[in-house]
Structure 1
């Protein structure tokens, strides 16, 4: 099986989709940080830290 190279439009679409996912995950983590449950806040903080380091 061979793969054909992506066009510039396809690469842009992939990049936009990836950024949208990261933005959505950050939005969820921000909402979780506002909760009163300490364990949830700790896990949300870990998630945000991982996203920051993945850049």
Structure 2
């Protein structure tokens, strides 16, 4: 999704697209950070970070 190249007709339309992106980013996109181990931010918050970081 290329939000920065999209022209929006209204603030509400832009907010809808941004809200959808945040859901994707936090719940479906795996992250590569060493503490995340391929989990999404939502999974990491639910499970917690490893004790020995």
TM-score range, shorter chain: 0.3 to 0.5
What is the TM-score when the length of structure 1 is the normalising length?
0.39
Question: For the pair shown, which has the larger CA radius of gyration, 1 or 2?
Answer: 1
Which has more helix, going by share of residues? Answer: 1
What is the TM-score when the length of structure 2 is the normalising length?
0.40
